[in-house]
Structure 1
Amino acid sequence: MTQVESRPKPARPHHELDISSPEFWGKTFDERELTFARLRAEGGVTWHEPMGGGIPGAEKGFWAVTRHEDIVAVSRNHEGFSSAEGVSVTPLPKEVQQETSFFLVMDPPDHMAFRRLISAAFTPKQIARIQAQIEADARDIVDGLVGAGEIDFVSSCSAVLPMRTVSDMIGIAPQDREAVTRAAEVLFAGPTEEDLAAGVDGAALVRRQVQVLREAAIEIAQDRRRRPRDDLMTKLVQAEVDGRRLTDEQIGAFMVLLSTAGNDTTKQTTSHTLLALSRNPGQKRWLMADWPARIGTAVEEFVRYASPVMNFARVAKADTEIRGTAIQAGEKVGLFYCSGNRDESVFDRPGVLDLSRSPNPHVGFGGGGVHYCLGHTVAKTQLRALFRELLTRVPDMEVGEPEWLPHQFVHGIKRLPVHVR
């Protein structure tokens, strides 16, 4: 009997449109959107080369989910799509993602247990306390801008309020805030040009900054266990669900997550919004004509238009399908929020800033489900407070051309020159 030689299955061809290379992510948002629009028009999901910049050869590829409806469907289906294997579209070690993403890299029931514990940070009472401090910080920041002349808006304003809020929430002492802010910046932007010129090891630098953030929070947690106060950290160390409390290591991990998810997203939305308002003065006039009634819808459009977080990943738990396309167990699915927020089947004139847009079902805080952003109320509080101060006290800022931050995850503005009278 003749033995038939088995042959390996041919590799699935990658889509001809590139959304994986550093060159693609080095383009402008609008240039990338032309590609995402073509993918949305195909009506399904598409298979692409692994995202560049990660571990070479670690993955065969990923499915790109680019339509709003599909992003929402996958986001809400935690039983079919897992976060426990990692949430980065770029191939990165799971342990690295766990260090920086904490309970985001978990599925229920573990995810929900930690989410309930951490919800102590976001009760109505805590939000009210945080709001008063955010408003005071916003006033103080804009105090420093009045009459300042030529500034970089990112470092002088956008980057300041989010990390002040994080520091206030956690209880970081004023003398330690500069180091904590620097650590958070490095986790997103990587080493500075000065670091690279000095021959700094980028990976080692990131690991050190993660440790700076963890140790800062652990030191405060240990103090609050000995000397409780009426503050967030005390609530965190005392919170208990099903007999479980957060350990020092888990509180350290939460600090890393808060310093990234709670920092760069709001920072970038602030920068993008100022730039967009400067280019759309009619929208600014519309908002200021009835601020109390209009700021609510405006903030939602700030987030949609900025799309500060561009993607997250899930992994299929079992063989399944999305819009008729077969997805095999273990394959990665990339949720491209930047594309979902420009989906012309959901948003009228999606590339236009429209502060009156309502309804506005953007996916700037995720597509819903158990992983929906826990801090979305704090982020919107920051944006309302800061833009009220900016647009009433320094309304005539002259905004220059931004220097973009090439990044595969954050829609980033590195510098934004502004002249403040």
Structure 2
Amino acid sequence: MTTAQSPTPERIAADRAHCDIDISTERFWRQPFAAREEAFAALRARPGITWHAPLDVPFPHEEKGFWAVTRHADIAHVSTHHDLFCSGQGIGLGPIPVEFEQMMSFFLAMDPPEHTTYRRIIGAAFTPKQVRKVDEVIAANARDIVDAVVGAGEFDFVERVAALLPMHTVSDMVGVPRSERDAVTEAAGSIIGADLDTSEEAITRMFENIQYLHSMGADLAEHRRKHPADDLMTSIVQAEVDGQRLTNEQIGAFMILLSTAGNDTTKQTSAHVIKALADHPDQKAWLTEDFDGRIKQSIEEFVRYATPVMDFARHATRDTVIGDQPIAQGEKVAIFYCSGNRDETVFAEPDRFDLTRWPNPHQGFGGGGIHYCLGHFVAKIQLRCLFSELLTKLPDLEVGEPVYLSSNFVNGITSLPVRA
């Protein structure tokens, strides 16, 4: 006589039917944002959460699929329960080689207590004095960047404005030599802003750029250990929590994170917003009427509307539930901020660009919890400084039609023609 055994999570996942709304294919992610949002709206309208096939990648893997978490409340639940949904087993929507994720993500792909320690060390480097210096650097860079395009005629807003401010900010903060800044900008852009190209050549190029940025950060850290200065990199190498400091290798990983996540998020928000302001002159007029009094509130709508980072993943640490849906230990759970920020139960007319929207509990910096974006205050400073300069010095900027990035991670614009 044999005894019946409960099916393993792997067996359950293999037998479970995938959702009929397919969000796993390259074809889906090459659609415009509005078309993808129709699919996410349909998923939000269904009870529970849905199971989907793993994304196609050009290398072998053992993933069976992922749960799509599309409602605002469910995203917040996953984000704020790191004991149930961990980051250390991978944060990418698609299967990612472990060496890529470890080098690219730093503490984004860590769990407590390791994550707590490293986040506190990085946070300790941002002293009030350093924050003031960051603000001053950003204001000066924004002024110089906008001054350079006043009267320039036609130009690409992404290339000449949106991409420059965050990369200059990162470079100034950590001391990237001016001779290396173009290379750093190109490397960072090729990693996080890459189109849906999964060829061997593209992956090799991406890995080379990851290694370049890692080496750059480690070299800058070593230089500041030997030659300390009054700058953020010195604060980073000297920051200490419970007797622990970052190694050069860890600072190299942090450099990748700064150059990619810290760069592309603000870059893409800026590009989406300049287009939205052109398309909604009433909103532009409202903001311009009292910029200083209204920009703080407006930035929250900037980030909600753009949602530059569309998703992250977690893995269940034990058998649990989301709503009434059982989730087996080890299963991947994808949290779609791009859907949560359009949740009609939270945001009235969610597709509308509305700077007066308040409160605005968007998930553009994450759904809360321990992984809430550490650099959100730097992003907000950049947006405030940049749009102060743009609306003052280029109030009649003509904005053309954007070319959008095809990506399953970044809601991006690759180019945007404008006329000053």
TM range (shorter): over 0.9
1:82 counterpart letter in structure 2: C
**Equivalent residues of 1:54, 1:91 under 8 A apart:** no
CA separation of 1:11/1:274 partners in 2, compared to 1, >3 Å: closer, same or farther? Answer: same
**Equivalent residues of 2:173, 2:232 under 8 A apart:** yes
Q: Which moved more, 1:51-60 or 1:144-153?
A: 51-60
- Counterpart CA distance in 1 for 2:5 and 2:322 is 34
- Counterpart CA distance in 2 for 1:190 and 1:121 is 31
- Counterpart CA distance in 2 for 1:243 and 1:89 is 35
**Equivalent residues of 1:121, 1:235 under 8 A apart:** yes
Q: Secondary structure at the match of 2:82?
A: coil
- Counterpart CA distance in 2 for 1:112 and 1:232 is 20
**Equivalent residues of 1:71, 1:335 under 8 A apart:** yes
The one-character-per-residue Cα deviations of 1:115-171 (angstroms, maximum 9, x if unpaired) are 011113433321111000100000000011101111011001100000001001111
Q: Secondary structure at the match of 2:221?
A: helix
Equivalent runs, 1:306-385 vs 2, <5 Å: 306-385=306-385
- Given the alignment of the two structures, is residue 143 of structure 1 paired with residue 147 of structure 2, yes or no? yes
Deviation of 1:252 (Å): 0.3
Equivalent residue number for residue 236 of structure 2: 236
Equivalent residue number for residue 99 of structure 2: 95
Q: Secondary structure at the match of 2:222?
A: helix
Deviation of 1:55 (Å): 4.2
Counterpart selection for 1:187 from 156, 174, 191: 191
- Counterpart CA distance in 2 for 1:223 and 1:128 is 24
Q: Secondary structure at the match of 2:368?
A: coil
- Counterpart CA distance in 2 for 1:95 and 1:204 is 12
The one-character-per-residue Cα deviations of 1:9-62 (angstroms, maximum 9, x if unpaired) are 670000000111110110111111111011111132110111234645531110
**Equivalent residues of 1:217, 1:251 under 8 A apart:** yes
Equivalent residue number for residue 162 of structure 1: 166
- Counterpart CA distance in 2 for 1:351 and 1:131 is 32
**Equivalent residues of 2:195, 2:406 under 8 A apart:** no
CA separation of 1:407/1:358 partners in 2, compared to 1, >3 Å: closer, same or farther? Answer: same
- Counterpart CA distance in 2 for 1:156 and 1:291 is 23
Equivalent residue number for residue 56 of structure 2: 52
The one-character-per-residue Cα deviations of 1:97-129 (angstroms, maximum 9, x if unpaired) are 111001111100000100011113433321111
Equivalent residue number for residue 113 of structure 1: 117
**Equivalent residues of 2:89, 2:109 under 8 A apart:** yes
Deviation of 1:190 (Å): 3.2
Q: Secondary structure at the match of 1:263?
A: helix
- Counterpart CA distance in 2 for 1:241 and 1:6 is 45
Counterpart selection for 1:175 from 154, 176, 179: 179
How does the TM-score come out when normalised to structure 2? 0.95
Deviation of 1:3 (Å): 10
Equivalent residue number for residue 393 of structure 2: 393
**Equivalent residues of 2:18, 2:53 under 8 A apart:** yes
Deviation of 1:374 (Å): 0.1
**Equivalent residues of 1:54, 1:92 under 8 A apart:** no
Deviation of 1:201 (Å): 2.2
Deviation of 1:293 (Å): 1.0
Consecutive unaligned residues in structure 1, runs of 5 or more: none
Q: Secondary structure at the match of 1:361?
A: coil
- Counterpart CA distance in 2 for 1:412 and 1:154 is 10
2:71 counterpart letter in structure 1: R
**Equivalent residues of 2:195, 2:407 under 8 A apart:** no
**Equivalent residues of 1:283, 1:354 under 8 A apart:** yes
**Equivalent residues of 2:29, 2:36 under 8 A apart:** yes
Runs (4+) of structure 1 exceeding 4 A deviation are 1-10, 54-57
Deviation of 1:228 (Å): 1.1
2:80 counterpart letter in structure 1: R
Deviation of 1:244 (Å): 1.2
Deviation of 1:224 (Å): 1.1
Q: Which moved more, 1:220-229 or 1:404-413?
A: 220-229
CA separation of 1:204/1:348 partners in 2, compared to 1, >3 Å: closer, same or farther? Answer: same
Equivalent runs, 1:21-60 vs 2, <5 Å: 21-53=25-57, 55-60=59-64
1:150 counterpart letter in structure 2: E
2:117 counterpart letter in structure 1: A
1:305 counterpart letter in structure 2: Y
1:209 counterpart letter in structure 2: N
- Counterpart CA distance in 1 for 2:102 and 2:123 is 19
Equivalent residue number for residue 82 of structure 1: 86
**Equivalent residues of 2:310, 2:336 under 8 A apart:** yes
Identity %: 55
- Alpha-carbon RMSD across the aligned residues, in angstroms, is 2.1
Equivalent residue number for residue 65 of structure 1: 69
Equivalent residue number for residue 411 of structure 1: 411
**Equivalent residues of 1:20, 1:50 under 8 A apart:** yes
- Given the alignment of the two structures, is residue 19 of structure 1 paired with residue 31 of structure 2, yes or no? no
- Counterpart CA distance in 1 for 2:196 and 2:312 is 25
Q: Secondary structure at the match of 2:15?
A: coil
Deviation of 1:2 (Å): 9.5
CA separation of 1:243/1:176 partners in 2, compared to 1, >3 Å: closer, same or farther? Answer: same
**Equivalent residues of 1:46, 1:63 under 8 A apart:** yes
- Counterpart CA distance in 1 for 2:240 and 2:102 is 22
